[in-house]
């Protein structure tokens, strides 16, 4: 059978754009996809920068206005890699134009925006137009394996969930200002940027949903140097110069109750000195426990509480066997995967769903569910009281 083309346009081209570009190029080389992705266009306001990305990754053309992308008949899917303040407008317009949509996380900057996006996705689905939000960490083989083990009942009834996302790239008080520190563009700080990931991962692995939270938010450094005023090559700044106000949180911590009654403790910070990308999840059940740390991303730890206590203990599962999720397409056992592979697996799942005319996950509805948890944390922190997630509708 002749393989159908899937024309892809990517809006935005920086850090996430590079990860997505590589994924679109790599997926058909390792996986037997039912459709062939074609990198039709990359879009950004800076034509020279967009052109450089197009040349590096093989995009066929560039656009400088995302609206022009939606007018093109050769584009079937729009991949949104822009800051959060643009997600709703671009995604809704793309869906209304009949384009499939992949949108980076968090889905939006507010619950209200996410609700509009989820509604647009529901309406588009009736016309065969699909959408997905990019929580790629759930496509790490060890994490997908954890989900499988929980579904199979290997750790029994879940009682506790502990989730952390620890980074340190803002620990230097003179690290320069960026859009991620501006609430009008980013929506929130550590809460939405990295906290969204641990909320999604916890709900994905447990198959459960957070129903109430008690949260705290903190901004440790309230102003940052404007890049270029006195920056050094090391990323730090010295001397006097222009500073801009930081309008988002640097860190968050919150407790949670799940629908099943399980308890959760969540922490997200960009001030954990020495931690570069420590996304950690531990799930304790009546029959055992699971533990994962992305800084050792090919390993899942499993404790079986039914074993004899004299020899029981956490054991390391190297999640590189052919029967582990996604692994069969890659390397022999023991040859680990990296950060970029989650984006490739995202492409595989999305293209397969579009070809099968089924709904990909995580859906915009899943993204909205995460956004409601984030909104409840903000409300809780402001009120100093526990908040129900359903209140954020």
Q: What is the DSSP string of 1-58?
A: -PPEEEEEEEE--SHHHHHHHHHHHHHHHHS--SEEEEEEEEE-S-HHHHHHHHHHHT
Per cent of the chain over pLDDT 90 is 94
Task: Give the residue numbers spanning the domain of 229.
Answer: 138-337
More confident residue, 235 or 320: 320
Q: Give me the helix-helix angle, 141-151 and 196-206, nearest 10°.
A: 40
Q: Is the pLDDT of residue 229 over 60?
A: no
Contact between 90 and 20 under an 8 Å Cβ cutoff? The reply is no
Contact between 280 and 294 under an 8 Å Cβ cutoff? The reply is yes
More confident residue, 3 or 165: 165
Identify the CATH number of the domain in which residue 328 sits: 3.30.360.10
Residue ending a domain, choose from 337, 369, 385: 337
Q: Do 89 and 212 belong to one domain?
A: no
Q: Do 73 and 182 belong to one domain?
A: no
Q: Please report how many Cα atoms fall inside a 13 Å half-sphere around the Cα of residue 35, on the Cβ side.
A: 22
Contact between 259 and 230 under an 8 Å Cβ cutoff? The reply is no
| Phi, psi dihedrals of residue 256, rounded to the nearest 5° | -150, 150
Q: Which of 132, 62, 69 has its CA nearest to residue 104? A: 132
User: Domain total for the chain?
Assistant: 2
77-80 and 100-104: which strand pairing?
parallel
Q: Do 298 and 331 belong to one domain?
A: yes
Q: Is the pLDDT of residue 110 over 80?
A: yes
Q: Do 72 and 30 belong to one domain?
A: yes
Contact between 175 and 169 under an 8 Å Cβ cutoff? The reply is yes
Contact between 134 and 236 under an 8 Å Cβ cutoff? The reply is no
Q: What pLDDT score does 57 carry?
A: 98
The predicted-structure confidence for 335-357, as pLDDT tens digits, reads as follows 999 999 999 999 999 999 999 99
Q: Is the pLDDT of residue 234 over 80?
A: no
Residue 257 in domain? yes
Write down the mean pLDDT value for the chain.
95
Query: Angle at Cα 208 formed by Cα 91 and Cα 356, nearest 5°?
Result: 50
Q: Which of 81, 197, 193 has its CA nearest to residue 139? A: 197
Average of per-residue pLDDT across 70-84: 98
Q: What pLDDT score does 232 carry?
A: 41
The predicted-structure confidence for 258-311, as pLDDT tens digits, reads as follows 999 999 999 999 999 999 999 999 999 999 999 999 999 999 999 999 999 999
In angstroms, the CA 193 to CA 270 distance is 10
The predicted-structure confidence for 193-206, as pLDDT tens digits, reads as follows 999 999 999 999 99
Residue 70 in domain? yes
Residue 262 in domain? yes
Residue 191 in domain? yes
Q: Do 201 and 326 belong to one domain?
A: yes
Q: Do 106 and 48 belong to one domain?
A: yes
Contact between 59 and 77 under an 8 Å Cβ cutoff? The reply is no
The predicted-structure confidence for 246-271, as pLDDT tens digits, reads as follows 999 999 999 999 999 999 999 999 99
Tokens of 86: 């643009």
Q: Do 49 and 129 belong to one domain?
A: yes
Lowest-confidence range among 16-30, 112-126, 218-232, 363-377? Answer: 218-232
Q: What pLDDT score does 391 carry?
A: 83
In angstroms, the CA 233 to CA 15 distance is 19
Average of per-residue pLDDT across 37-44: 98
Q: Is the pLDDT of residue 236 over 60?
A: no
Tokens of 246: 């930081």
The predicted-structure confidence for 83-108, as pLDDT tens digits, reads as follows 999 999 999 999 999 999 999 999 99
Q: Is the pLDDT of residue 238 over 80?
A: no
How far separated are the first and last CA of the chain, in Å rounded? 46
Average of per-residue pLDDT across 26-55: 97
Average of per-residue pLDDT across 9-20: 97
Q: Do 150 and 65 belong to one domain?
A: no
More confident residue, 230 or 374: 374
Q: Please report how many Cα atoms fall inside a 13 Å half-sphere around the Cα of residue 126, on the Cβ side.
A: 6
Average of per-residue pLDDT across 135-146: 98
Q: What is the 3-state secondary structure (H, E, C) of 155-205?
A: CCCEEEEEEEEECCCCCCCCCCCCHHHCHHHHCCCHHHHHHHHHHHHHHHH
Q: What pLDDT score does 240 carry?
A: 64
Residue 345 in domain? no
Q: What pLDDT score does 393 carry?
A: 72
Q: What pLDDT score does 241 carry?
A: 83
Tokens of 162: 């502990």
Residue 43 in domain? yes
User: Sign of dihedral through CA atoms 270, 169, 370, 258?
Assistant: negative
Average of per-residue pLDDT across 68-88: 98
In angstroms, the CA 275 to CA 266 distance is 16
Identify the CATH number of the domain in which residue 58 sits: 3.40.50.720
Q: Do 234 and 213 belong to one domain?
A: yes
Q: Do 101 and 174 belong to one domain?
A: no
Q: Which of 262, 210, 258 has its CA nearest to residue 374? A: 210
> What 3-state DSSP class applies to 266?
strand
Q: What pLDDT score does 237 carry?
A: 43
Q: Do 124 and 189 belong to one domain?
A: no
Q: How many CB atoms sit inside 10 A of residue 390's CB?
A: 10
Q: What pLDDT score does 231 carry?
A: 41
């Amino acid at each position: 059978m002749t393989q159908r083309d899937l024309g892809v346009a990517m809006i935005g081209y920086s850090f996430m754009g590079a990860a997505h570009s590589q994924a679109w190029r790599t997926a058909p080389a390792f996986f037997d996809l039912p459709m062939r992705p074609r990198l039709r266009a990359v879009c950004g306001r800076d034509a020279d920068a967009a052109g450089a990305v197009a040349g590096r990754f093989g995009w066929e053309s560039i656009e400088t206005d995302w609206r022009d992308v939606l007018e093109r008949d050769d584009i079937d899917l729009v991949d949104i890699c822009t800051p959060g303040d643009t997600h709703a407008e671009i995604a809704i317009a793309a869906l209304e134009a009949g384009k499939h949509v992949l949108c980076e996380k968090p889905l939006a900057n507010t619950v209200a925006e996410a609700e509009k996006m989820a509604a647009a996705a529901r309406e588009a689905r009736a016309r065969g137009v699909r959408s997905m939000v990019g929580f790629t960490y759930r496509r790490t083989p060890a994490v997908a394996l954890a989900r499988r083990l929980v579904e199979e009942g290997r750790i029994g009834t879940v009682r506790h969930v502990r989730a952390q996302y620890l980074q340190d790239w803002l620990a230097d008080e003179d690290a320069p200002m960026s859009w991620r520190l501006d609430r009008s563009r980013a929506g929130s700080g550590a809460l939405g940027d990295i906290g969204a990931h641990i909320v999604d991962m916890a709900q994905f692995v447990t198959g459960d949903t957070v129903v109430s939270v008690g949260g705290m938010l903190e901004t440790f450094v309230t102003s940052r140097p404007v890049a270029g005023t006195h920056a050094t090559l090391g990323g730090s700044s010295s001397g006097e110069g222009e500073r801009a106000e930081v309008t988002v949180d640097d860190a968050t911590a919150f407790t949670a109750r799940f629908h099943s009654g399980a308890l959760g403790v969540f922490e997200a910070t960009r001030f954990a000195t020495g931690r570069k990308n420590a996304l950690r999840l531990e799930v304790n059940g009546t029959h055992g426990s699971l533990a994962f740390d992305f800084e050792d991303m090919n390993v899942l730890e499993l404790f079986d509480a039914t074993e004899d206590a004299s020899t029981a203990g956490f054991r390391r599962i190297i999640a590189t066997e052919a029967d582990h999720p996604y692994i069969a397409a890659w390397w022999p056992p023991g040859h680990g995967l990296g950060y970029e592979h989650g984006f490739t697996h995202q492409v595989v799942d999305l293209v397969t769903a579009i070809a099968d005319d089924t709904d990909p996950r995580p859906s915009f509805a899943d993204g909205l569910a995460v956004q409601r948890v984030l909104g409840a944390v903000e409300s809780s922190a402001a009120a100093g009281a526990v908040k129900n997630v359903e209140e954020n509708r």
